[in-house]
C-alpha cells in the first residue's frame, strides 16, 4: 500500500456526504434569506402575535381591546361593565376574538370578570380554536419547520467514523504497518477529524438563527394597540379582574384546558 493511500481513502470517505451537507446548508441559507425578506413586509395579526409570544392570555388582550374601543369599562374591583356602545347589538368589533368576548358579556345577567371568562369552557374553546385555525391559515413559508441538517450532520459524522475504522482495518490487513504508514494514516485520520469538527465549530463562531427564531422575533416585535393604549389604572384593574376574590375556583386552571392544541 502506498503511503498516501490511507489519507486519500480517509478524505474520500467524507467527500460525498459533506458535499451533500454543504449543498443543504446553501439551500438553508437561501431559504432563511427569503424568509427574512418576506417577514420584513409581512404584517401578522396582533392577537395571534400576542398569544404566540406574550405572557398575558388572549382574554386579557380582548378585554383591553374592548376597553380601548369603548365597549367595556372596568371598575376598581375588576368587574367588567358594558357601556352604551357595548349594549348596542348593532355594534361589535371586527375581530372575532373581542367580538366573542363581547357576546359573552352581553349574555350575562350581571357584570363579569376576567377570571370568570377564563373559566368558561365555551369561550376558552372559541379563543383557542381561533388561534389554531389562524395558525393553519398562515402562509406555508411561515409554518415550515426548521431544517434537519443537524441530523444529517450527526449521521455523516458516524459514517466518517465507520469509514475511518474500515480504513484502519484494511491498512492493518493488507500492508506492513510501518512507521511511514502510521504517520500517513494518522495524518489522514486527523484531517478526517478536522473536517468532522468544522461544522459545529463554525456554528459556534458564527451562529445562525433558525427559521423559528426569525418568526418568533417578528411576532414578538408586534405590540397590540390595546395594550399600548391601556392606561395604568385600567391595566391594574384588569390584573385585579384576573384574581376575582368572589370566585376563588376561577383561579384554578380547569382540567379541560390544554396549552398546546385546540379542544375538540
Co-location of 78 and 201 in the same domain: no
Are both 19 and 79 inside the same structural domain? no
Same-domain check for residues 103 and 119: yes
Phi/psi for 169 (5° steps) reads -65, -45
Considering the domain architecture, whether residues 61 and 130 belong to the same structural domain is answered as yes
The average pLDDT across 219-229 equals 87
Residue range 109-137: mean pLDDT, rounded:
86
Residues 83 and 133 both lie in one domain: yes
Q: Chain-wide mean pLDDT for the chain?
A: 76
Q: Which of the four pLDDT bands, split at 50, 70 and 90, describes residue 257? A: very low
- For residues 243 and 23, give the distance between their C-alpha atoms in angstroms, rounded to a whole number: 55
Are 113 and 95 part of one and the same domain? Answer: yes
State which residues form the domain around 110: 46-142+223-251
Same domain, 87 and 192: no
Is residue 115 situated within a structural domain? yes
**How many distinct structural domains can be found in the chain?**
2
| Pair (75, 169) in one structural domain | no
Q: Which of 21-35, 126-140, 204-218 shows the highest mean pLDDT?
A: 126-140
Number of Cβ within 10 Å of residue 12's Cβ equals: 12
37 and 50 inside one domain: no
| Same domain for 232 and 180 | no
Whether 216 is covered by a domain: the verdict is no
pTM of the complete model beyond 0.85: no
CA 92 to CA 66: how far, in whole Å?
9
**Domain match, 10 and 51 both:** no
H-helix segments, 55-148: 58-69, 84-87, 96-106, 114-118, 121-136, 140-143
Domain-located, residue 9? yes
Amino acid at each position: 500500500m502506498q503511503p498516501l493511500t490511507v489519507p486519500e481513502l480517509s478524505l474520500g470517505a467524507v467527500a460525498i456526504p459533506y458535499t451533500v451537507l454543504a449543498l443543504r446548508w446553501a439551500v438553508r441559507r437561501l431559504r432563511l434569506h427569503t424568509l427574512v425578506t418576506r417577514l420584513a413586509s409581512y404584517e401578522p395579526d396582533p392577537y395571534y402575535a400576542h398569544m404566540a409570544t406574550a405572557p398575558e392570555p388572549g382574554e386579557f388582550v380582548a378585554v383591553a381591546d374592548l376597553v380601548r374601543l369603548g365597549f367595556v369599562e372596568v371598575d376598581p374591583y375588576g368587574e367588567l361593565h358594558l357601556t352604551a356602545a357595548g349594549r348596542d347589538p348593532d355594534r361589535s368589533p371586527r375581530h372575532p376574538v373581542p367580538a366573542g368576548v363581547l357576546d359573552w358579556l352581553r349574555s350575562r345577567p350581571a357584570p363579569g370578570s376576567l377570571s370568570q371568562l377564563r373559566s368558561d369552557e365555551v369561550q376558552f374553546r372559541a379563543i383557542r380554536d381561533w388561534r389554531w385555525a389562524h395558525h393553519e391559515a398562515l402562509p406555508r413559508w411561515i409554518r415550515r419547520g426548521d431544517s434537519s441538517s443537524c441530523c444529517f450532520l450527526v449521521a455523516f459524522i458516524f459514517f466518517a467514523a465507520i469509514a475511518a475504522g474500515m480504513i484502519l482495518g484494511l491498512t492493518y490487513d493488507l500492508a506492513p504497518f510501518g512507521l511511514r504508514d502510521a504517520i500517513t494514516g494518522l495524518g489522514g485520520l486527523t484531517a478526517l477529524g478536522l473536517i468532522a469538527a468544522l461544522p459545529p465549530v463554525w456554528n459556534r463562531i458564527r451562529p445562525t438563527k433558525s427559521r423559528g427564531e426569525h418568526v418568533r422575533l417578528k411576532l414578538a416585535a408586534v405590540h397590540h394597540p390595546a395594550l399600548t393604549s391601556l392606561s395604568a389604572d385600567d391595566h391594574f384593574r384588569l390584573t385585579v379582574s384576573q384574581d376575582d376574590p368572589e370566585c376563588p375556583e376561577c383561579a384554578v386552571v380547569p382540567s379541560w384546558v390544554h396549552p398546546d392544541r385546540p379542544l375538540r
